[in-house]
Amino acid sequence: MTEDGPAHPCVGGERLSATFYDRPVLQVAQDLLGCVIEHDRVTVRLVEVEAYDGERDPGSHAYRGRTPRTAVMFGPPGGLYVYFTYGMHYCANLVCGPPGRASAVLLRAGAVVAGEDLARARRTAATHRTIAARDLARGPARLATCLAFGRAQNGVLTTAPQSPVTVRRGAGPIGTVAVGPRVGVSGPGGDGAEFPWRYWLEGDRHVSAYRPGGFRRTRT
């Protein structure tokens, strides 16, 4: 407890346990801001996330129930759900709530705080252009590329002692948390009034740009 109220749960440095994730998705999503995720020699501090609430959420992959693709979402809290999108990119989510609930938090953006040269090499190999530091993990596909997430990481349990992917509590205050509609979600799930389930650190330069559902950038 601090003079201003309860301490943020992501202050310290220890690995996040299953207990952290076994809570309502909106709580977990906000508490992940400021935490750091590590894999294959790169560490990213999370600055933007989105919550997806399983079969009760029309924006969730699990809205219509369990499929081979979404099976990981129905697994234990702290699991890593990695999916392929647009036939081009991987994106990563952390599963939360009790097994069978299928809620998860999309890792939308972060700041590379260790392994920047390696993260830049991975991003450059994917884009064939120079990448500014602020843009390395600014977006879910970019973040996944920096951390070398792919099909092999789908289903990894981040809470296990020997897990190759770890999520740890951050150090220091995180600042003001902003709330708004999720990025690129069409239909009812994109209703910002009913689902203001995107959370980010206000003023952080690594936060991604907002795009409404139905928007897709064309390649030139």
pTM score, whole prediction: 0.88
How does residue 4 score in pLDDT terms, banded at 50, 70 and 90?
very low
Condensed to tens digits (0 to 9), the pLDDT of residues 128-180 reads 888 999 999 999 999 999 999 999 999 999 999 999 999 999 887 788 999 99
Burial bucket for residue 192 (CB in 10 Å: 0-12, 13-18, 19+) = middle
* Residue given tokens 């036939």 in the structure block: 87
CB contact burial 18-48 (16+ within 10 A = b; e otherwise): eebbbbebbebbbbbbbbbbbbeebbbbbbb
Of 212, 208, 189, give the one whose Cα is nearest residue 200. Answer: 208
Of 207, 200, 43, give the one whose Cα is nearest residue 134. Answer: 207
Amino acid at 64: R
Condensed to tens digits (0 to 9), the pLDDT of residues 9-63 reads 443 478 999 999 999 999 999 999 999 999 999 999 999 999 999 889 888 898 8
Position 11 scores a pLDDT of 39
Instruction: Give strand ranges (E) for the chain.
Output: 36-39, 42-53, 80-85, 89-96, 103-114, 165-168, 177-180, 198-201
Mean pLDDT of all residues in the chain?
88
